[in-house]
Amino acid sequence: MGLLRTTASVVKTIIGSSILTISWSYYFSSLLPGLLFTLVLGMLSAYSFFLLGHCSDVTGRKSYTEIWAHTVGSRCACIVDLAVLLYTAMTTVGYWIIIGDCLPKGLEALGFSNLLQDRVSAILATSVIILPLNFLNDLAFLSYTSVLGIAGAVYTCSVLVFESVASGPEVSDWIAFSVEPGWFVMLPIVTFAFNGHFNAPALYQQLESKSSARWALVTGMGYIATFFISALCAVAGYIMLGSELADPGRSNVLTAPYLQGKREVMVAYFGQTVCVAFAIPLNLAGMRDAIDGMWVRRSLHMGSGVGPRTRHFVLSGLCCASTIGVSLVVSELGVLHAVNGAVNSTLLMFVFPPLMFLGCTSGRPFSTGGFTWYRALPVFTMILGVGIGITGVATTICLQLGMEIRR
């Protein structure tokens, strides 16, 4: 793929349902800390994303797990597969939740006020429509929906900015700066907002005339675009709604009563539904591949009579049914993203890539000035990832238990 098409694929890989919950995370941290950490974590995410392309170039491997097996060891490759499995599974559940939240409102905007007006029927109907896509071997044609996904994200961002400007900064009780335990809810959600790393090696290998310089350009452009979309959505939603974001079921910013009945917002509901629906088969493929990888490695040691075709269909059905089932009983999008960001995103973004980079550069001589790039920054990134993971899980549990994490 060319430079611009690869950049578009990077943006679509990263941008997703997080733009709907990042405003909610700013409620727990206040505005300025949220913006600061969005910038810092975005830069560190871009750094580790670049490292994955560099590792793919050095090793010649085309997948996240293959690079891990080559640089760290194949015996513990199941750890990476498990993290990818949980990340893609929880992301897919989030997509089904968005469909349950948004499709009824999108249909209402088109005049179908009596069709699929509860979340369960909306999720089940959509699952039937896209079911054939979940069993396909080749999903390459869905790469062209990157443009549709980016357009949907930009439109949603534009709607939130427009509504925020129209309402004015005095309409809500937003806070510019405060020191809160809620920072540790915000951090994993912001981390989740920049995660597309498990697909980075494949994107690097598809880049025409690939090199470190061209990959750095793709990474830079992709993350700059992602940062501005995410930051604008976060600021606009938080200033517009303030503490209203803390109300039950309000972690999806588009569900706020203030936005109900507005025609441009109704279009955003339907647009988000279409965008995430086409992303579901891609995430289910990631789930299937992760399980299949663990299955194959186990079979090498213990033997298995199940062929690849049978595995493909069995795993596709299992992944589809399990994510739909969870989405029917889980409806809180923000908590799901917080846990996914704290557990899986931190591993895939801040812990595993530096470990693989250190494996690629072990024994390589470097100047005193290169110490920061080759050793200090990777180690710092790993420590940060572990810290965000532990504090994020603990604080999210406290939130679910009803404990006060914001004064």
Domain residue spans in the chain?
Answer: 3-400
User: Is the distance from CB of 169 to CB of 237 less than 8 angstroms?
Assistant: no
Residue of 47, 13, 5, 1 lying closest to 220 (CA atoms): 47
| 81-97 pLDDT per residue, tens | 999 999 999 999 999 99
User: Is the distance from CB of 360 to CB of 55 less than 8 angstroms?
Assistant: yes
Q: Which amino acid is it at 300?
A: L
- Where b means 16+ CB within 10 Å and e means fewer, 218-253 reads bbebbbebbbebbbbbbbbbbbbbbebbeeeebbbb
Residue 166: its H or E element: helix 146-167
| 160-193 pLDDT per residue, tens | 999 999 988 888 999 999 998 999 999 999 999 9
User: Cα–Cα distance between 47 and 32 in angstroms, integer?
Assistant: 23
pTM value? 0.93
Sort 189 into a burial class: Cβ within 10 Å, 0-12 / 13-18 / 19+: buried
Task: Give the per-residue pLDDT at 146.
Answer: 67
Mean pLDDT of the chain: 89
User: Is the distance from CB of 130 to CB of 277 less than 8 angstroms?
Assistant: yes
| 148-168 pLDDT per residue, tens | 778 888 999 999 999 999 988
Residue of 45, 48, 64 lying closest to 56 (CA atoms): 64
Task: Give the per-residue pLDDT at 304.
Answer: 52
User: Cα–Cα distance between 112 and 267 in angstroms, integer?
Assistant: 13
User: Is the distance from CB of 295 to CB of 132 less than 8 angstroms?
Assistant: no
Residue of 63, 122, 116 lying closest to 95 (CA atoms): 122
| 391-400 pLDDT per residue, tens | 999 999 998 8
Copy the structure tokens of residue 105: 């409102």
User: Which residues lie closer than 8 Å to 307 by C-beta, 6 or more apart?
Assistant: none
Query: How would residue 293 be classed by pLDDT, with cut points 50, 70 and 90?
Result: confident
Sort 157 into a burial class: Cβ within 10 Å, 0-12 / 13-18 / 19+: buried
| 25-47 pLDDT per residue, tens | 999 999 999 999 999 999 999 99
Sort 202 into a burial class: Cβ within 10 Å, 0-12 / 13-18 / 19+: middle
User: Is the distance from CB of 355 to CB of 382 less than 8 angstroms?
Assistant: yes
Question: Which backbone phi and psi does 363 adopt, to 5 degrees?
Answer: 80, 0
Tell me the C-alpha to C-alpha distance, in Å, between residue 71 and each of 186, 197, 214, 325, 359: 32, 17, 23, 37, 5
Task: Give the per-residue pLDDT at 367.
Answer: 63
Q: Which amino acid is it at 220?
A: G
Query: How would residue 108 be classed by pLDDT, with cut points 50, 70 and 90?
Result: confident
The CATH class given to the 3-400 domain equals mainly alpha
Residue whose pair of structure tokens reads 């800390």 in the numeric block: 33
The CB-side HSE value for 395 (13 A sphere, CA atoms) comes to 25
Task: Give the per-residue pLDDT at 96.
Answer: 96
Task: Give the per-residue pLDDT at 303.
Answer: 45
Residue whose pair of structure tokens reads 């679509």 in the numeric block: 12
Residue whose pair of structure tokens reads 């020191």 in the numeric block: 179
Task: Give the per-residue pLDDT at 301.
Answer: 47
| 294-320 pLDDT per residue, tens | 877 665 444 455 677 888 899 999 999
User: Which residues lie closer than 8 Å to 14 by C-beta, 6 or more apart?
Assistant: 193, 194, 195, 196, 222, 223, 226
User: Which residues lie closer than 8 Å to 131 by C-beta, 6 or more apart?
Assistant: 320
Q: Answer whether residue 373 shows pLDDT above 80.
A: no
Of residues 117 and 354, more confidently modeled: 354
User: Cα–Cα distance between 174 and 387 in angstroms, integer?
Assistant: 27
Task: Give the per-residue pLDDT at 295.
Answer: 75
User: Is the distance from CB of 330 to CB of 97 less than 8 angstroms?
Assistant: yes
Task: Give the per-residue pLDDT at 375.
Answer: 84
Average pLDDT estimate for 257-261 = 85
| 113-161 pLDDT per residue, tens | 777 778 999 999 999 999 999 988 877 777 666 677 788 889 999 999 9
User: Cα–Cα distance between 73 and 64 in angstroms, integer?
Assistant: 13
Q: Answer whether residue 350 shows pLDDT above 80.
A: yes
Residue of 235, 338, 332, 253 lying closest to 21 (CA atoms): 253
Q: Which amino acid is it at 166?
A: A
Of residues 270 and 140, more confidently modeled: 270
Query: How would residue 366 be classed by pLDDT, with cut points 50, 70 and 90?
Result: low
Copy the structure tokens of residue 367: 């100047």
Query: How would residue 347 be classed by pLDDT, with cut points 50, 70 and 90?
Result: very high
DSSP code for 75 = T
